Amino acid sequence: MSGGSRGSAGCLRCCLVIFAVASALCVSGPALYWRFKKGFVGSSAASLACAPCVCDCPPPLSIQKIAPGLLNLSVTDCGKNDPELNKEMEKQFVDLLTEELKLREVVAEEHAHHMNATLLDAKRLASQYQKEAEKCNAATETCEEAREKAEAAIRKEKKLTAYWERHARALGWQDA
């Protein structure tokens, strides 16, 4: 480091120390001043205690005495005696109710639309499943008919086979 930067660092430290001491004196100075002043005036415990205050102050005023009507006011009483304000408030109330009813109607219509769409989807799916079930039933009936025909053909073939086997045995054929 150069000599100039050491000198400026030292000056900065010195300024900070002076600032800290001055701040401490500003904060605690008045308290110390009064403490030393009381200590020099009298060092006995009696002189440190305050004498009782004697004052004839009137009692504090209440809000009721300052503004008599203030405690009786409420939000519902506001503008009760003003016919124009009452008329405007009723209009606003009616407008709010009308808007609320319109919103509820819109919500009900959306709900009904959603329910109708859901019902149509359910009907479409039910119809599709019904068609698939009918196809399955028709295929099952076809398979059942084919099975019955196959069983009848097998019985017929067994009878024919048994007949030819008896005939072959009668002619001297034997199993090997």
**91 vs 83: CA distance, rounded Å:** 12
Residue 124: what pLDDT? 95
Give pLDDT, residue 134. Answer: 95
Given a cut of 90, whether residue 136 has pLDDT beyond it is: yes
- Here the tokens at position 116 are 């109708």
Note the pTM of the prediction, 2 decimals: 0.35
Higher pLDDT, 146 or 55: 146
Tell which wins on pLDDT, 137 or 27. Answer: 137
Q: What is the pLDDT of residues 79-135, one digit of tens each?
A: 667 777 777 777 787 888 888 999 999 999 999 999 999 999 999 999 999 999 999
pLDDT value at residue 6: 73
Residue 140's pLDDT is 94
Q: How many CA atoms lie within 13 A of 87 on its CB side?
A: 3
Q: Give the pLDDT of residue 22.
A: 87
* Pair 80, 74: CB distance under 8 Å: no
Q: Please state, in angstroms and rounded to a whole number, the distance separating the CA atoms of residues 30 and 32.
A: 5
pLDDT in tens, 33-92: 777 777 655 555 545 566 677 677 766 666 666 666 555 555 555 666 777 777 777 778
- Residue 68 DSSP one-character state: T
Mean pLDDT of 17-39: 82
- Residue 79, pLDDT score: 60
Q: Domain coordinates of the chain in residue numbers?
A: 79-175
> Coil, strand, or helix at residue 24?
helix
Residue ranges with strand state E in 39-168: none
